[in-house]
Structures are given as structure tokens and as C-alpha cells.
Structure 1
Amino acid sequence: MGSLSFEASGAARTAVEEHVGTLVADKVASRIAAKDPTLWGPEAESEAAVRLGWVEAAELSRPLVRDILDLREALRAEGVTRIVLAGMGGSSLAPEVIANTAGVELTVLDSTDPEQVAAALAERLAETALVVASKSGSTVETDSQRRIFEHAFTEAGLDAASRIIVVTDPGSPMDAAAREAGYRAVFNADPNVGGRYSALTAFGLVPSGLAGVDIEALLDDAEEAAEILAEDAPENIALALGAALGGTSPLRDKIVIADEGSGIVGFADWAEQLIAESTGKQGTGVLPVVANAGDPETGWQAPDVLLVRLVSPTADTAPADDASQVVISGTLGSQLLLWEYATVVAGRLLGINPFDQPDVEAAKVAARGLLDARPEPQAPAFTDGAVQVRADAQLLGGADTLAGSLRALLGTLGPTGYLSVQAYLDRFGQAELAALRPQLAGLTHRPVTFGWGPRFLHSTGQFHKGGPAVGIYLQITAESAVDLPVPGRPFSLAELIAAQAAGDAQVLADHGRPVLRLHLTDRGTGVKQLRDAVARIAGEG
């Protein structure tokens, strides 16, 4: 199928054989392409009717290309060569993948961690333009990032309005405010596309195009794939992948996505949000687990785990006949569209609406409530070195050390469960924390997800609250050596990220999920202490 290839084995192949014929007979592919909102049942119909614009994004985004390239040249002529993106969820994940795959610099601000934002502020501000991407403009992270950068530009003697570019829906509050403020440019995206499906709209193209990506080639690639993915044919890879994701029986609801030299940098992080937020609801769904080649999960044959291997188009890596796995290759533009199609096909098989996110708002409401009320922080159950430990007394069971609290949490992990590690820190400055993920997977013999907060709240956060109630949660927060006030708002970034973490932990606990909260009073010492504790537990096993 053009630049795409797909092979399946084991339970994945059985699912393909079982479902693709029916999907073809029901003309699911062509009906998706025709934006038929009835595919996911009557309850989903009203939302699906205004969420299928992505199927023709490659074609409809063409007029944007010239304006983006013209602006890029104008900025470069003024010495503005660094693009910073303020965006969350699909507004940041897609452009980051697109830019990183092309090997161009794009600084992505998808955090409220003061140290991460301060580091972005400190680098080449005079050469920087800020892209602010939000469908409505009401996203608190994005609004805070915009305010901080706008203030910094002004303080540095730069014309802030000339350095800010906005991507938003037409007629949104931010659309009007940006035009009134005289910002450098306002790009409108298709309002009939949800954020996680927006990779090939202005949300994906503006920041990556300004950063230097050949976005026309990206659209060419996707448009070529669009014709094939819309065909009601047994060889349609979108139908096969959708069947593998949502049609195994019993359902393999942990999808381990491992990159084995696909050439697409960070693709699994983008797919993670797309799948988790689209399917994790009504007590069902499939949980993507982002892994690397050779990580523990890639060698398992667990009955609830499906391995998806992303390989190079030139690789000769057929799946083993006795393993339940999928092997996929393809270029970036074609893969973006393929996974969007496959995700909504999986949604049909799962019987859910792949376009809503009913449980995302709860954490936002809890965070806003904590910001408004400013309660005293919950006292720690105990402190071990540079780590304060907070958890329900029943969960801790008398533990009074960091290692003991980790053992207590892991002891609640069931045979079909998963562990979610949620780190509200600087994902660049504390990148070594991500090494905990494969260590904990090897220790527990269960899938482990790792999310940087608050970024994951716009991704797997939906699944953790709306999907199967089998997860356990390790939340990591930290003191910051710096803080940044948010101009025009009665809180700082340190206060905001603390409220976001506490609010999400509260919502998870309200859902009856086991949550262990670790607060590092010193980042360097605390990270080392945590890693040592995990290594010690692993050594005991």
C-alpha cells in the first residue's frame, strides 16, 4: 500500500481475519472518508458530525503552506530563527514529531514546570518567535506560557506583538483577542477537527513549517495515503490496524509501541495521546505503552498485551508466528493518517465514541478549585531524605521508608494491571527519570507507562480515569529552584503545577485508584534517591 506496510501475527492476525471482512462489507473506510457520523452509534453522532474534518486535512491545508513559508522567510530576514511552541496535547505532540523527524529545531513548551519554562526563556530570546496553539485559547498552560513570554519580550525591549503567532479555531476567544492585540499572524485551523486528530492541520503545520520543515512534502505524503486508506478493500491497512488495536478477543488492552528504527522520531508519543484519549472511556479502551526496542514488555507473551513494532520501510522484520504482534512501516505523513483512521476503526469495534474525552475535565476542575481555595498542602505521611511521601494510610500499610512505600504501591498491582509513572518535572532537565519505566516494568512484569506532567493530562489522563480500573499510580513532584509569576494571573507556575498534580491525584483517588505521591524537596538528590530505591527493590527480587 504505497509507502505503508503492515504484518500481523497471533491474536492480532486473528482479529484482522475476524473483523476486516465485516468492515469492508459495512463500507467503513469509505464512510469515514465521506465523514459519515453514524459509524459510532447514535450517542456519538452529534459530536462525530463536527469532528471528521481530519480525513481531508491534507488537501484542505494546502492554502496554508504559502502563508507559513512567507512568514518563515520574513522572520528569518529579521534574525528570528528560533521557534518556541506553547501548546498542549495534540497542539504540541504532532509538531514535535514532525520537527524532530525532519531534524529541525523546535522548542516545545508543553509544561508548567518553572524550571522547564525558565530554561526556554533563557535561550536566545532575541532570536525567538512564539507560536501559541490552542483551539479556544482557554487552556491554562498555554495561556500562562503566552503571558510569560509576552512579558519577557517586552522586558527585553522587543516588540512582543511582532513575535507572537497564534493558531486557533476561527471565531474562538483567542482568535478575537489575538487580532485585537495585533499579534504577528493568526492562523485558523479547521474547527471540525479535534486536537488529537489535528496533525495535518494548522496546528501541526504552522510551528513545524516555521521551524523549517518541508511541510508541502508532508502533505504530499499524506494525500497519497488518503486515497488508499479510504478504500473498502481487504488489503486496507487502516482496517487491519484498527482491527488489531480494538478487535482482539479477549481484548489485549495494553498496546506496547516500540520503535525499532522507523526513522520517525517520537511517533509513539503522538500515537499514545491519539489512542488513549480516543478509546479510554466507559470502562474500556486500549492503553498505549511507549517503549524502546529491547525493553521488558517487547519480549512478553502476556495475554493482555499486544506489541506494535515500528520499523524502517527497508527493514525485513516479519513478526514471529507464535507472537501476537504487529509490524508497521511507513513515512511520517502516511503514518499520521493511518493511525487516525485505525483509531476510529478501533473505536467502532470497542463500541465507544472516539471523539470525546469525558473524564479530562475533572482534573482541570480540581486544579482550578485548588488554585482558588489555596488550601494548605496535605502533610506528608513521612519524609525519607529528600522525598516527602503522601498516600492513603491503608495503601502504605505502616511503611515508613521510600522503598517501603514503593513496595506497598507495587503490591496492589493486579495480574491484568499496569503502573503509571507521572512526573511533574522538567522533561529535559530531569530526563534521566524516564529510565525508571523499563526498570519498573522488569521489576513488576507488568506494563508501565511514563508521563511528564501536566503533559500527560492531555493524553493518557483520559484513559487513567475512564478506562478499565486496573491502574496504579506513582506521582512525582518537586520543589523548583526558580519560579515564574504568571502576568495578570494570581498564581505562579510553581503554584499552578502543584495544583495540577494535587488535583489529578485527588480525582484518581476519588475513582478508587491507588496513588502514591512523592515530592522531591531537592531535585538532584531526590531523583537519585528514587532511582536507588527502585534499584534496591529490583535487587531484592
Structure 2
Amino acid sequence: MNPLKSLPDHGQAAWLDFLARGFIDKGDLARLVAEDGLRGVTSNPSIFEKAIADTDEYSQATADLLGQSDLSVMGLYEHLAMADIRKAADVLRPVYDATGGADGYVSLEVSPYLALETEPTVEEARRFWKEVDRPNLMVKVPATKAGIPAIRTLIGDGININVTLLFSQEVYEEVAKAYIAGLEALAAKGGDVSRVASVASFFISRIDVAVDKLLDQAIAKANDPDEKARLAGLKGKVAIANAKLAYRRYQRLFNGGFAQLKAKGAHAQRLLWASTGTKNKAYSDVLYVEELIGPNTVNTMPPATMDAFRDHGRLRNSLEENVGEAEAIMAALAKAGISIEAVADELVSDGVKLFADAADKLLGAVARRRITVLGAQLNTQTTALPQTLADGVAHASEAWRSEGSLRRLWHRDAAVWTGKDEAKWLDWLTLVPEELKRVDELVAFQREVAEADFDHVLLIGMGGSSLGPEVLAETFGAADGYPALTIIDSTDPEQIAATEAKLDLRRTLFIVSSKSGSTLEPNILKDYFFDKVGKALGRDEAGSRFVAVTDPGSSMEKTAKADGFWRVFYGLPGVGGRYSVLSRFGLVPAAAIGINVEVFLKTAQEMVYACGPDVPPADNPGATLGLVLGTAANAGRDKVTLIASPGIATFGAWAEQLLAESTGKQGKGLIPVDGEPEVPIDAYAGDRVFIYLRLTDGSSGTQDAFAETLRAAGHPVVRIDLASRDRLAEEFFRFEIATAVAGAVIGINAFDQPDVEASKIKTRELSAAIEQTGHLPQETPTAITGPISVFSSEADREQFDLAAEAGGLAEVLRAHLGRAKAGDYVAILAYVARNPAHHEVLQKARKAVLVERRVATCLGFGPRFLHSTGQAYKGGPNSGVFVQITADAAHDIAIPGRSLSFGQVEAAQAAGDLGVLAERGRRYLRLHISGDVAHGLATIAEAIEQAVARA
């Protein structure tokens, strides 16, 4: 016999506060039961974290689970933990049976994140009880204000409960009464109260740690030596005194009014002494065991304390000794001005936080284990940051962790941003599993498309409706037996004509994507192509070639039904356009070109889990990227420069829209820089963050060396490695989470686009004017130089007129671009056809500005960019210097059913765009090309090169 094994002779059960897989599998738990009379086990996140993070015991189990199906980090932890709990419960089942259900329990804690929520606590406890499926399970629930009613409900359900975080005698009495009330409720509905057990876990050593600190402060203030001595005499005694008085309450509560329940076989709720490892080395290492031995109690000890008590513990019925002295100790404490209830309240609050901290640490360990097992299945992310930025990101990460901001984001708390309407735009968070549930509809559509034998798919859309599908088309192309996908997101007559020339209208499927159905461009483009198909096939047959993707109840839905569209697919109203690529807006065109949408979604799901609410920010790739971007923006590094391997290069245009439209408002935000020419490293200033999406298949060419040069020069570089193009699905979700987080750090609503709407209003006003008069309001050029007419604000007119007289267009541009200072950017906004030739000539001008002026450069083709970067240009930081390029339409195209032409709409859009730039006080210049567009663009590009060379 040893002191540990003899504890039951004094009415106390010894439980172990430890659990790990190897401890069970190697027989150590069974030996403690057999040799030391162990009668129960408690677990907590901190215990599991040490086992998962510091050993390889869970590596194979993790691999096996993930080999069957992917799991969230919390789901993975629960699978691992519940397996251990079941095994431990089976080892302790003989104890449970031998003691008639008095002992033999294993405890599993509900998520500490739910400590302040009653219903979620109840739901999770019920789920644990069902999934563990062992009668000797105890579910741990904290004694918070929200936890106590949950305890009553769960006892009423017949679920065993271990009540944790008890420090106060008053709260303990509430807990005991909740237990009794729960039993009464169970009995009233015919339940068997004899099969329910509960312990009230009174935390011991933490009380002495807190009170001793307060006593030391009181001693330091006291002047009387006797007072100092009296106060010093209380140290190390309050926790035990408090526990003895709690035990007296237990005796009163369960020796009187409990008789009726006891007659039905009910067990008293035992007091369990927790936190019995001695924190202060000046005290005995078995203090909190020896002094708290008494009938019908439990002491749960950490392994070191259990070993110490086995070795040199002394047995006596100490719990009922000197109760009068315990009262005197508590009275003396109160006289010293220290409230034990106030201490208890603070310890509960601290305990909730400490439990959450431990859970964060545990889930971080599980997340890292998951990443290791998945390997190349999950795209990896590494950051190289200057020390100041790294420190800022680390500080932000810890703040987000300690405040639970990421969980709040996932729980749709609008206060994470500005507390306005953000919550209604967050359905993209759960979009992937929702789309997986209804993927069969897309699979059927894909089969029908293949059977229809189309040559082409033309997607008509703008912004989020077109940019995501464009990435898919350019990255993956069409599978064998499926049509190629082309995007039309322009009102430029030349581009419309060039697009139409590629198509056999009889063998083309048209997808009209418009979330609201009220966006101008998709509507007029639909009218144009519907009319064309009607003439080719007959009006009655035209609808059979059209599919709509729109929100339920939109005007586009009504149009589609009226025109007899083949299919209508519905988006989710709570998903904004730029967050919609993983919805039907991206998946319908993906299905049409033969992409396996189920595999695509499951690939995205891997990143959804990696970025989930259960993954702490430091281990959460999406949150980390967002914290880098938001912290960098607040520090003046707001130019997010996107670099990508050639095989995935079009991803940048999608990310550009997401970042710009989400964050660029209220004078703040990120300015994404996509497709910028690569130049010598000294051209890049200190306002940049670089994101490098890198295929690891060796196709990145010189980009690896370029990224390394940037890193070596001290620029912040975030590198994301993809094992193949197929893994690109993951990046859509990573960037969505990152953008939402960055928006919160910057302090804006990441889901509205007020300045895009302002531009639309201007365009509508100008379009109405054209319909009335036949033309836009006439403007007088500031200057005319060859085929280029210069238009500027009234304030700049005289300066640019003189510049034109002195040196022509180059001098005008020298004056305009000279306004770009350090930290600014130059954006060329071209309302001309977006084609390789036009892109190439403007890229040359862009490169010259970058090299000579050392400012970031952007290139956008209108009206496409209006639904993308246009928001940031107008609503973001006033650091842009804009060159708008317009041109006469060489061959305009009429819009069926309207008195407007496409060329007039494009002109109205350009004028509306410029009008909002002017209203926002932006620095702008408009250059209008008369005659040949290619010649005009070359003239402008050459003038820009000359202008910056002279600077």
C-alpha cells in the first residue's frame, strides 16, 4: 500500500490531470489504475497540446484521418482527442462498473471559446456526449454566468458534467443548485437520475498565487510590524481555508434537501480539488493534497504531484479539521481589504482567457501537424519582412489572437470592421461546403454542355463576374471535348467586333453573369449578342444558347425567363461579386469548359480549413497574409505588387480587383500593382509589399532570382508556392480571407464599393444626356498636339497650355507626371480595346515611368477597370497621378433597342470616371486620340518616355 492508493480509505478518489495517446497505448494508465487505485482522468487543451506538439504520437493517426477525408483543424483535433477519451474511458470502465458509476470517469472539455455562450455550450456538450458514446464520459463546462444554466440543462439531459473554473463559495452554491435543479428536471420527465454524475472542480493553487500577491502589496504598505506579521501569516492558507468552507456548504446542500433525489438513486455532486500542483516552491509539493482529504471528494493531480504524494504524502481526514480557523483566515483577509469574491471573479475571467490561450496553442499545433501531413497538397506561404514590419505584424497577430478577432470574423461580427452592414456580405465564408452540397447540378450541366457540342463559350460579365472565370480559362483552358471560354467585359466597339469575329454564333454558348442584373455592360452586351444569335438561328431559338448566372429575384432572372434562356443558375445574395469566384459565378463557366468542379471545390476546401476560425492567426495563412498587408498599409507600404509564374499569371488581375475594391475607400487602402514590367531593383521604393505566386515545377524562369533580389534588398516579400496549377483553387480563398483581415486592420468596410457606385451614377447621367442630345456635353481641349487633344481641370488648364506651347505633348506629360512624388503611383487608364498590341505599347510607357521616377505604376483598360481598381483610384489614398486615354470609335456598333451606341457608352463611362476623379480631388489628365488608335497610343507612349527622361 502507498499513500496514493490509500486515499479511498479516507473517502477521496485520486484522479489524474493528464492524458496522452502513448500513455494509454503503452499501458501506463492501466498500471496506475491497477497499482495506485487511480479512479479517473481529466484532460484539457494544454495537456493535449503538449502531446501533439512535442511528440510523434499523433503523426500516423493524423495521416490516417486526412487520408480518409480532409478535416478542419478543430475537426481533426476532436477526432484525435475523442479517440483518446474513448480509449481512456474503456481502461477506466471496470472502475466505473465496480463503483456503481461513482468513479471511473474521463473528462473532455467543451471549447473554451464558448465559455460566455450558453446555447453553443449546450450544443457542443450534447455533441461530445453522443460522439464519444461512453457512459463514463464527463463533459467539462466552466462555471461562468453562461455556463451555469448550461450545466442545469445538460444534467437535465442526463449528461455527466465536470464543472470547471470554480473559485468562489457563492458561485459553487449556484453550481450545486443548478445540478440539483437539473436532476429534478430529469426525474420529472422520467429519466434515471442514478445514471448521472457530476463533480464541481474547485481550483486551489491559483487562489493562493493571486491572494499572496495582494498580501505582499498590503504588507509593503503596512507600517505596523504586527500588522505585517499578521498579513504574512495568511500567505499560503487562503486557498485551503476557502476550500474547507466550500466543503461545509457541500455538506449542507447535499445532506438535507437532497434526500428525495438520493432516494431515487441520485449521486451527490462531489467537490473536486483541481489545480493542486504547488506553484510556490516555498510550500510543500503535496500541500494541496494533504490538507484537503475528506469523504466523498476528488483530487485531480498532475503527474508530478501524484508522484510526490505517492512518495511522501501523509494521510489524515484533514478537510474537516480546523474549520473555525478557516473562518478566521477568511475574516482576516476581508479585514485586510481583500475580497475573496473579487479575487474569484478575476480568476474566472483570467481562467477563461488562459483556457482560450491554451486552446489557441493546441489548435496551432494541430494546424502545423495538418500542414506537415498534407505536404504539397496545401500551398505553402513564407514571409520575409523588414524587422520593423515583422514586429508590427507579430504585434497585430497577437492582438488578433488574444481578442479572438478571427473567430469573430467567422462568426460574422460586423464590429471587426466598422459595425455597419458587413455581416450580410459574409456568406463567402461558408460558400465552398455549400457549393459542394449542390455540385450535382453543375455536374449535370457539364455533361449537357459536352453533349451539345459547342465550339465556344462567351461569358458576358464585369468585375467579379468575369475576372475569376478569366483566370480559370487562361490557367486551365478547355478540357478535351469541351468548348473554349472567351470573356467579353468591355464596351469598346473594336474589342466587341474582335470578340465576335472569333465566334461561330450558331455553336456558341453564352453565359450572362450579373449579380444584380442591373449592371449596364452585361445588359447591353447581352442585348447585342442575343439579337445576333436571334438573326442567325431565329428569335425563338436564341434563348436555347443562353445561360444566366444571377441572384434570385434579379432583373436578369426576369429577362432570362422572358427570353427563354436554357438555364438560370443562382448565386447567393450574401456573396459580393468580388468574393464570388467559388460560387456559381465561377463554377458555371468552369463546368462549361470541363473543369472537374467537385475536385476544384475540394481543393479550395483544403485552404478553407487552413484559414478557419479554429486556426490562430500566426498559423493561419490567410490571416497572416492579411495582417501583413494591413499592417504594411498602415505603415505606408500600400502598393501590393503581384508577381506570378507564367502559368498562373492572370490570377493577378483577379486579386487586383479583390484588394482594390475591398480596401480602397475613405482615403485609405491598398493599391494593387499587377503585371508591372520587371526592372532593376533600385527602381522600387519603400512603399511596396511583394506577393510572389510561384509554381514549383521549374516554370518560373528568372522570377525566383528577382524575388530573391527583392528580399535581399530588404523589401517585404510573401512567397506562395504551388505544386501545380491545379492548386490555384486554394488561392482564391486565401486571398479572400487576407483581404477581409487587411480591411479590418486598415479600418474600413471591406465589402462595399461606394466610389464604383458614384461612377455608375455619373455614367447613367451622361448616357441619358446622349440619348436626349445625341452626344456628350462638349468640352474645350486645354491643348491639341498632333492627333492628341489634352483635357485637364480648370485649375491646371493654364499650366498645361503653356507646357504644350513650350514642348508639345511630352512637356505636358512632364508637368503632369512631375506631380508624382515619393509614395505616389502613376496609373494609365486606357479606354481602348484591350489587346496584346495596345498592352505592349503602354507597358513600355509604364516601364519608363517606373525606372525614371521610381513610383509604382498601374495599367487599366476601361471600362473593365471601373469594376476593379477604379474603386481604389477614387476612394483610396490620394496618391495617384492618372493619365486617362480615350479615342474616337473608328467603327461604332449600335445597341439593339437603344438610341445609344457602344462607342457612346464607352465615352460616357470615361467621362463619368473622370468626373468622379475630379470630385475626389485626384490629379488627372485626359488624352484623346483622333484617328488611328494604334498610332495615337504610340505617340502617347513615346511622349511619356520623353517626359520622364527629361525629369
Which band: TM-score by shorter chain? over 0.9
Q: Which amino acid aligns with 2:650?
A: G
1:267 alignment counterpart: 651
Check the 8 A contact 2:510/2:546 in 1, yes or no: yes
1:100 alignment counterpart: 474
Superposed CA deviations along residues 322-348 of structure 1, whole A, max 9, x for unmatched, are: 332222234211111001001111111
Question: Structure 2: any 5+ residue segments left out of the alignment?
Answer: 1-370, 372-377, 479-483, 699-703, 771-775
Q: Distance in 2 between matches of 1:37 and 1:535?
A: 47
SS at match of 2:821: coil
Residue 12 (structure 1) shift = 4.4
For 1:10-89, list aligned pairs within 5 A: 10=386, 11-42=388-419, 44=420, 47-89=421-463
Which of 846, 849, 867 is matched with 1:437 structurally?
846
Higher relative contact order (CA 8 A, sep 6+): 1
Q: Distance in 2 between matches of 1:194 and 1:325?
A: 29
Question: Structure 1: any 5+ residue segments left out of the alignment?
Answer: none
Q: Distance in 2 between matches of 1:479 and 1:306?
A: 38
- Judging changes above 3 Å, is the alpha-carbon distance between structure 1 residues 417 and 275 closer, same or farther for their aligned structure 2 residues? same
1:5 alignment counterpart: 381
1:419 alignment counterpart: 826
Check the 8 A contact 1:58/1:219 in 2, yes or no: yes
- Judging changes above 3 Å, is the alpha-carbon distance between structure 1 residues 529 and 312 closer, same or farther for their aligned structure 2 residues? same
Superposed CA deviations along residues 186-215 of structure 1, whole A, max 9, x for unmatched, are: 000111100111110001111122122232
Q: Which amino acid aligns with 2:383?
A: E
Residue 450 (structure 1) shift = 0.7
Residue 262 (structure 1) shift = 6.7
Kindly tell me the number of residue pairs found equivalent between the two proteins. Answer: 536
Q: Which amino acid aligns with 2:493?
A: P
Q: Normalising by structure 1, what TM-score?
A: 0.94
Deviates more, 1:331-340 or 1:309-318: 309-318
Q: Which amino acid aligns with 1:322?
A: G
For 1:192-271, list aligned pairs within 5 A: 192-230=574-612, 231-233=614-616, 234-248=618-632, 250-259=635-644, 261=645, 263-271=647-655
1:173 alignment counterpart: 555
- Does 2:719 align with 1:323? no
Residue 418 (structure 1) shift = 1.1
Q: Distance in 1 between matches of 2:380 and 2:458?
A: 32
Which of 872, 875, 900 is matched with 1:463 structurally?
872
Check the 8 A contact 2:464/2:579 in 1, yes or no: yes
Check the 8 A contact 1:94/1:199 in 2, yes or no: yes
Deviates more, 1:351-360 or 1:65-74: 65-74
- Judging changes above 3 Å, is the alpha-carbon distance between structure 1 residues 16 and 313 closer, same or farther for their aligned structure 2 residues? farther
Q: Distance in 2 between matches of 1:353 and 1:395?
A: 38
Check the 8 A contact 1:476/1:517 in 2, yes or no: yes
Residue 443 (structure 1) shift = 2.7
Q: Which amino acid aligns with 1:336?
A: F
Check the 8 A contact 2:506/2:537 in 1, yes or no: no
Q: Which amino acid aligns with 2:605?
A: E
1:310 alignment counterpart: 693
Check the 8 A contact 1:27/1:232 in 2, yes or no: no
- Judging changes above 3 Å, is the alpha-carbon distance between structure 1 residues 381 and 65 closer, same or farther for their aligned structure 2 residues? same
- Does 2:754 align with 1:358? yes
- Judging changes above 3 Å, is the alpha-carbon distance between structure 1 residues 293 and 12 closer, same or farther for their aligned structure 2 residues? farther
Residue 28 (structure 1) shift = 2.9
- Judging changes above 3 Å, is the alpha-carbon distance between structure 1 residues 386 and 475 closer, same or farther for their aligned structure 2 residues? same
Which of 359, 362, 381 is matched with 2:782 structurally?
381
Check the 8 A contact 2:831/2:887 in 1, yes or no: yes
- Judging changes above 3 Å, is the alpha-carbon distance between structure 1 residues 478 and 212 closer, same or farther for their aligned structure 2 residues? farther
Q: Distance in 1 between matches of 2:713 and 2:764?
A: 51
Q: Distance in 1 between matches of 2:679 and 2:518?
A: 38
Deviates more, 1:275-284 or 1:425-434: 425-434
Q: Which amino acid aligns with 2:619?
A: E
Q: Distance in 2 between matches of 1:419 and 1:154?
A: 44
Q: Which amino acid aligns with 2:780?
A: A
Q: Distance in 2 between matches of 1:380 and 1:239?
A: 49
SS at match of 1:359: helix
Check the 8 A contact 1:262/1:329 in 2, yes or no: no
Residue 503 (structure 1) shift = 1.2
Residue 223 (structure 1) shift = 0.6
SS at match of 1:106: strand
Residue 397 (structure 1) shift = 5.0
Residue 399 (structure 1) shift = 2.1
- Judging changes above 3 Å, is the alpha-carbon distance between structure 1 residues 295 and 71 closer, same or farther for their aligned structure 2 residues? farther
Check the 8 A contact 1:262/1:313 in 2, yes or no: no
Deviates more, 1:229-238 or 1:22-31: 22-31
Check the 8 A contact 2:530/2:542 in 1, yes or no: yes
Deviates more, 1:312-321 or 1:469-478: 312-321
Check the 8 A contact 1:5/1:313 in 2, yes or no: no
Which is richer in helix? 2
Check the 8 A contact 1:169/1:189 in 2, yes or no: yes
Deviates more, 1:148-157 or 1:8-17: 8-17
Q: Which amino acid aligns with 1:412?
A: R
1:190 alignment counterpart: 572
Q: Distance in 2 between matches of 1:154 and 1:301?
A: 53
Residue 284 (structure 1) shift = 0.8
Q: Which amino acid aligns with 1:279?
A: T
Q: Normalising by structure 2, what TM-score?
A: 0.54
Q: Distance in 1 between matches of 2:416 and 2:554?
A: 28
Residue 27 (structure 1) shift = 2.4
Q: Distance in 2 between matches of 1:139 and 1:87?
A: 9
SS at match of 1:408: helix
Which of 474, 488, 494 is matched with 1:115 structurally?
494
Residue 423 (structure 1) shift = 0.6
SS at match of 1:345: helix
- Judging changes above 3 Å, is the alpha-carbon distance between structure 1 residues 476 and 333 closer, same or farther for their aligned structure 2 residues? same
Check the 8 A contact 1:29/1:229 in 2, yes or no: no
SS at match of 1:302: coil
Residue 380 (structure 1) shift = 2.1
- Does 2:813 align with 1:406? yes
Superposed CA deviations along residues 284-328 of structure 1, whole A, max 9, x for unmatched, are: 1111111357246x6555232222222224677764373322222
Q: Distance in 2 between matches of 1:395 and 1:417?
A: 21
2:943 alignment counterpart: 533
Q: Distance in 2 between matches of 1:485 and 1:262?
A: 38
For 1:444-483, list aligned pairs within 5 A: 444-483=853-892
- Judging changes above 3 Å, is the alpha-carbon distance between structure 1 residues 354 and 301 closer, same or farther for their aligned structure 2 residues? same
- Does 2:531 align with 1:151? yes
Q: Distance in 2 between matches of 1:348 and 1:376?
A: 41
- Does 2:670 align with 1:286? yes
Identity across matched positions, percent? 37
- Judging changes above 3 Å, is the alpha-carbon distance between structure 1 residues 110 and 433 closer, same or farther for their aligned structure 2 residues? farther
**RMSD across aligned C-alpha pairs, in angstroms?**
2.1
- Judging changes above 3 Å, is the alpha-carbon distance between structure 1 residues 126 and 295 closer, same or farther for their aligned structure 2 residues? farther
Deviates more, 1:512-521 or 1:11-20: 11-20
Superposed CA deviations along residues 345-400 of structure 1, whole A, max 9, x for unmatched, are: 11111111101111111111111111112344313223222222212304515122
1:137 alignment counterpart: 517
Q: Distance in 1 between matches of 2:493 and 2:389?
A: 43
